[in-house]
Chains A and B, each alone.
Chain A
Amino acid sequence: DAEITQSPRHKITETGRQVTLACHQTWNHNNMFWYRQDLGHGLRLIHYSYGVQDTNKGEVSDGYSVSRSNTEDLPLTLESAASSQTSVYFCASTLHSYRSSTNQPQHFGDGTRLSIL
C-alpha cells in the first residue's frame, strides 16, 4: 500500500544545531507540504512543493528550508534550531490534476515531535 512516512518520530536537540526532518511518500504525488502544529495555532504551513525542483514559502517559513530533488522526498531543514521551533511537524502530500483543477484528498504522515532545549 502507498504511504507517507516521517522520520524520526521524536527528536530532542539543542539550540543552534542544524536539524533535518525526513518525509517520504510512495503515492507518486506531485504536491508535498510541511506544517507545524502548536496549541492555540492549529496547523500552519511552513513550505510546500508542486514538483521536482519547485519549492515555495508558507506562512511560517523563517528559519526553515526545503529542497525537492525527486518526487518521493521533501526533507525539512532547520538551519539553526531555536526553542520557538519546538513543535509537532507534519508532512502531507496530494495529487493535483491540472486538467480538472480538482484535488485528491491530502494524505498526512504521523508527525515528528521535535523538542529544542
Chain B
Amino acid sequence: KQEVTQIPAALSVPEGENLVLNCSFTDSAIYNLQWFRQDPGKGLTSLLLIQSSQREQTSGRLNASLDKSSGRSTLYIAASQPGDSATYLCAVTAGNTPLVFGKGTRLSVIA
C-alpha cells in the first residue's frame, strides 16, 4: 500500500528565505506526483505536476523535483513571501488510480 510522508509537519521562516519542503513515498511505481497548496477554509490548488518520466517542473518561484527511484520529491520555494503561507500537500498516483496524499506541511512566512 502506497504511503506518502511529508516532513516537516510545520515550518516557520522569515520573509525572503529560500526553503525546501520534502515528500517521500514508499512505492516507486508511480505515474506522476502533484504538489498542491491549501489555504485555510479552501480547497486544494494544484501547483505543479511531474510525470514519472520528468525530473523537475518549474512555475515562477516554485521548483519541484522528482527522484522516483529513491521515492522522494522536493518543493523549492525561492524568496518566500507572506502570501506563500499555506499548507502544502504532495500526492502520487500510479496511472489512472486515485491520488494518495501526504498530510501536508504547514508553512508560515513571517514578514
Chain A interfacial positions (CB closer than 8 Å to B): 31, 33, 40-43, 45, 48, 50, 58, 90, 92, 96, 98, 101-111
List, sorted by A's number, 30 A–B pairs whose CB atoms are closer than 8 Å: A31-B96, A41-B103, A42-B103, A42-B104, A43-B89, A43-B101, A45-B98, A45-B99, A48-B98, A90-B43, A90-B44, A96-B96, A101-B31, A101-B95, A101-B96, A102-B31, A102-B32, A103-B49, A103-B95, A103-B96, A105-B34, A105-B46, A106-B46, A107-B46, A108-B43, A108-B44, A109-B43, A110-B42, A111-B42, A111-B43
How many pairs of A and B residues are in contact by the CB < 8 Å rule? 55
| Residue B45, interface by CB 8 Å | yes
State the majority secondary structure of interface residues on A.
strand
A108 to B49, CA, bound (A): 15
The contact of B93 among A90, A103, A111, by CB within 8 Å, is A103
Interface residues on B, range: 20 to 34
- Tell me the chain B residues, 18-53 only, with Cβ under 8 Å from chain A: 31-32, 34, 36, 41-46, 49, 51
With A41-B103, A58-B98 given, can you name 4 additional A-B contacts, CB distance below 8 Å? A43-B89, A43-B91, A104-B49, A110-B43
Given contacts A103-B93, A105-B34, contact A33 B98 (CB under 8 A): yes
